[in-house]
Amino acid sequence: MFEELKEAYHFVFEKELLEEINKSGYLKEFKEGDVIIEIGDHLKSMPLLLNGAIKILREDQDGDELLLYFLERGDTCAMTLSCCLGNTKSQIRAVAERDTSLIMVPIQKMDEWTAKFKSWRYFVFESYQMRLTEMLDTIDTIAFLNMDGRILKYLQNKAKINQDKKVNSTHQQIAYDLHTSRVVVSRILKKMEIENKIKLFRNQIEVLEL
């Protein structure tokens, strides 16, 4: 675990902090599609992403989901940080975008490391800033892009996160993530294929316009 931790975070944390994280944290692994954090969970630890990718979702009062942002290796979730520090229930759902491994850090260590390690303070503040920027980008996308633009941006983001032009997503899954209907998604995807922006396969979409 320590080698994976160093590889993912050596450019962020000094050796002493990496050793403390390795000593205090514990490894958890998830398969693609597994729910890592559920809405309403009481969180006792925060995740540091070693490998894989995670999508963060919100849910409305009718149970419909909306994708907020993705997390990659070297990231953590600012909304999880807030819940840990405030001892409140989770307001997001975190789902493994692909097979994922995490180090879970006990919340009791967060205050200690904030006082002890400058790199930890910077990491926490930067995480808040990055996630806020991504959520504002999501709001802008909903407010200013039509559904064609939202779907293309969604596919481009997934291709970037997975480092693969071929995105493994069903039309129904895209509809869930973007809070729309499968019929609308299918119609727009077919139109985008005619425009040579994507290429459709069974349960897979190749993004041609990155």
Instruction: Indicate the pLDDT class of residue 83, thresholds 50, 70 and 90.
Output: confident
- Within 13 A of 53's CA, how many CA atoms are on the CB side? 14
Residue 53: the pLDDT is 94
Q: In terms of Cα–Cα distance, which of 196, 47, 12, 26 is closest to 120?
A: 12
- pLDDT of residue 86 exceeding 80: no
Q: Name residue 71's beta-bridge partners.
A: 54
Residue 107: the pLDDT is 85
Report the alpha-carbon angle 24-96-188, nearest 5. Answer: 155
Domain span(s) for CATH 1.10.10.10 in the chain: 146-207
Please state the pTM of the whole predicted model. 0.81
Domain 146-207 part of CATH 3.90.380.10: no
* R_g of the chain, CA atoms, integer Å: 18
Domain span(s) for CATH 2.60.120.10 in the chain: 2-142
pLDDT digits (tens, 9 = 90+) for 27-49: 999 999 999 999 999 888 889 99
* Residues contacting 140, CB < 8 A, separation 6+: none
pLDDT digits (tens, 9 = 90+) for 175-203: 989 989 999 999 999 999 999 999 999 88
Fold that domain 2-142 belongs to in CATH: Jelly Rolls (2.60.120)
Instruction: Indicate the pLDDT class of residue 1, thresholds 50, 70 and 90.
Output: low
At position 71, the amino acid (one-letter code) is L
Question: Which whole number is the average pLDDT over 143-169?
Answer: 91
